[in-house]
Amino acid sequence: MSDVKEYDFVVFGATGFTGKLVVEYLVEKYSNNSEISWALAGRNLEKLETVATSKNVPEDTGLLVVDSNDIASIEEMVSKTRCVLTTVGPYQLYGNDIVAACAKYGTDYVDLCGEPGWMHEKINELSDVAKESGSRIVFSCGFDSIPFDLGVLFLQNEVINRYGKPSSNVRGRVRGMNGEFSGGTAASLGATMAALKEKPELFAVLANPFALSNGFTGPEQPADNKPILDEKLDTWVAPFFMAPINTKNVHRSNMLMNHMYGEDFCYNEMWVMGSGDEGKAAADFISSSNPLSDAPKPGEGPSRESRENGNYDVLFCGDINEESVHVSVAGDMDPGYGSTSKMITESAICLVKECEDLAGGIYTPAPSMGTKLIKRLQDNAGLIFKVEN
């Protein structure tokens, strides 16, 4: 394939609900930026044209007809772009050929994947291919798992700056989250459960917090599957439904950064419910309910008003020397749609524009883009990374 690319990145899935939000953000932030070139891709040209017209996309923006089941159209897309930004999940159903083509031909790739079983398979299948071709593949560039993965990095940089060493025990605590959960997340969970019937060996992957850490196994991790009293914060905390993917990504980041957090690193992630009997009752309720039961169907989502009124706030506590360093990550829109669409867009731009020296391979956000992406998210995407004590 030609080394000369027409586009910095292509938005695959531009006619879907999240894809349209990515397009809106691009038009708002980058339509007048001549240094960034992008195109829209999807299965239906007429729908692509409708999106382009309705979102005021610049007239010279490329429109590519691509079907996730058509290898020829995928390779045509991959040949034209430095990076593929794909919002089309579940990735275990619609992402196999796209990520394989990117790995084969040296094209970068970012997605919103929260499917650890599929990620485990792709890491085993494609890591050497991506290293050989120079393709930088970065999974989980949305709410799962950017605020958590980069939040831990931000915290550990602060701890190391103060104490000369990292915290071996970090607690992620979701203090607030307003907005509808992603229908794509619910669909991915459904696809994972279906895959388990055919591949029961995936149970071991899903249960292992180090499943994405290339064979490294650290210490036994703190329990996060039942309500507990966080005595240091004096609050009850409940299981957080995204912890199974976020924790695996955080441990993979640590491994990829040569165990910057230490080989004895422990991390758990839970939802703050409050103190006293009321907090305990809320934690018990959350632990017995399904937060995704009311999620929209894939392709659907909340209104603009709902997205703009959404927000989230996550505290990270790094315990060290009988003390604890606190930082937080907050977002200004609902996590599953509004903020996620901005995060994946900034990830694609950061990867192709600011990470020229990054070698090929399969990454998480922290070791691939790290503080560069933190800065972009704060400057452009409504995220706030803050030291609290």
Does the pLDDT of residue 203 top 70, yes or no?
A: yes
- Whether residue 264 sits in one domain with residue 246: yes
In a domain, 387, yes or no: no
Cα 75 to Cα 304: distance, rounded to the nearest angstrom? 35
Statement to judge: residues 126 and 154 lie in one domain: no
Residue 195, helix vs strand vs coil: helix
pLDDT of residue 1: 58
Q: What angle do CA 29, 184, 78 make, to 5 degrees?
A: 60
Would you say residue 181 has pLDDT above 70?
no
In which order are the strands placed within the sheet that holds 383-387? 228-230, 235-239, 266-274, 169-178, 311-320, 323-331, 383-387
85 located within any domain? yes
What is the domain count for the chain? 2
Q: Report the candidate in 173, 178, 177, 332 with the shortest Cα–Cα distance to residue 246.
A: 173
Residues 75 and 203 in one domain: no
Q: What is the pLDDT of residue 97?
A: 98
pLDDT for the residue 2: 56
Q: Give dist(CA 276, CA 182) in Å, integer.
A: 31
Q: Are strands 9-12 and 83-86 parallel, antiparallel or unpaired?
A: parallel
Question: Residue 82 domain-assigned?
Answer: yes
Instruction: Please tell me whether residues 191 and 120 are part of one structural domain.
Output: no
Contact 241, 143 (CB under 8 A): no
Residue 65 lies in a domain: yes
pLDDT at position 182 is 67
The whole domain housing 84 covers: 9-142+340-378
Helices (H) and strands (E) in the chain, counts: 15, 14
What residues have CB less than 8 Å from 78, skipping those under 6 apart?
A: 1, 84, 98, 101, 102, 105, 107
The answer to the question of residue 385 being in a domain is: no
- Torsion angle in degrees (nearest 10) through CA of 91, 60, 6, 100: 10
Residue 254 and residue 298 share a domain: yes
- Residue 388, in any domain of the structure: no
Higher pLDDT, 77 or 194: 77
Same domain as 154, residue 107:
no
